[in-house]
Structure 1
Amino acid sequence: METFFKIFAIVFTLLFGYAIVVQFNDPDALKWILIYLAAAVASILFILKKLKSSIYFLLTIFFLVLFFMYWPETYEGVQLDHGMKTVNIEEGRESLGSLIAAIVMLVYGLRTRFLNKSKV
């Protein structure tokens, strides 16, 4: 099971890294680069077992707040063939990216909490 979570974290480290790269053409690139960088660093620290579960739970809350803050007034989808034609498409993508990060941080937090409880 340990191998599964390491692979899971490596995959999401790479995905968050990819998300950083594709932000460079975004109007608010720096903000989203830093947000995805936080998720990528948290993923690396999960692999290294350097953070407490409470930090992952705080990151989960942070990303959930972003999810709700950026949810568009009118959801128009996130299709890649539509590009960034509307603010709603951009906000939809940003919002769903935040939700994915929140779910990943929750998985890290629960796994870290489970491992710490089993050692006692």
Structure 2
Amino acid sequence: METFFKIFAIVFTLLFGYAIAVQYNDPDAFKWILIYLAAAAASILFLMRKLKPIVYFILTIFFLVLFVVYWPETYEGVQLDHGMKTVNIEEGRESLGSLIAAAVMLILGMRTRFVNKSKV
């Protein structure tokens, strides 16, 4: 099971890194680079066993708040082809990216808590 979570963390570190790389043409690129950088860093620190579960749970809440805040007024999907057609599509992408990050942080936090509890 340990191998699964290591692979999981590596895969999401790479995916968050990809999300950082494609922010170059985003109107608010710097903000989203920092947001995805936090998720990538937390994934790396999971591999190094450097964070306590509470940090992952705080990040989960942070990403859930972003999910709600950036949910578009009218959901039009995320249409990955042809760039951003409307603000609703851009906000949908940002919102769903935040939800994915929240889910990953929750999983990493639960795993960290489970491993820490089993060592006691």
TM over 0.5: yes
1:44 is matched with 44
Which residue of structure 2 lines up, in the alignment, with residue 72 of structure 1? 72
TM-score (norm 2): 0.98
Residue 3 of structure 2 is aligned to residue 3 of structure 1: yes
What is aligned with 1:55?
A: 55
Q: Which runs of 4+ in 1 moved over 2 A?
A: none
Which whole-Å CA distance do the structure 2 matches of 1:18 and 1:86 have between them?
22
Correspondence 1:100 to 2:100: yes
Question: How big is the shift at 1:82?
Answer: 4.5
Gaps of 5+ in 1: none
The 3-state SS of whatever aligns with 2:56 is helix
Identity across matched positions, percent:
85
Give the residue type in structure 2 aligned to 1:102.
Answer: A
Spell out, residue by residue over 1:46-93, the C-alpha distance to the aligned partner (whole angstroms, 9 max, x if none): 000000000000000000000000000000001112520100000000
Give me the whole-angstrom Cα distance separating, in 1, the residues matched to 2:5 and 2:35: 22
Distance 1:72 1:82 in 2: 19
CA offset digits 1:87-109 (Å, max 9, x no partner) = 00000000000000000000000
Q: Distance in 1 between matches of 2:39 and 2:24?
A: 17
Which structure 2 residue ranges, 5 or more long, are not aligned? none
CA RMSD of aligned residues (A): 0.6
Counterpart position of 2:89: 89
The residue aligned with 1:17 is 17
The residue identity in structure 1 corresponding to 2:47 is I
Partner SS state of residue 4, structure 1: helix
TM-score, normalized by length of structure 1? 0.98
1:114 aligned to 2:119? Answer: no
**Residue identity matched to 1:110:** M
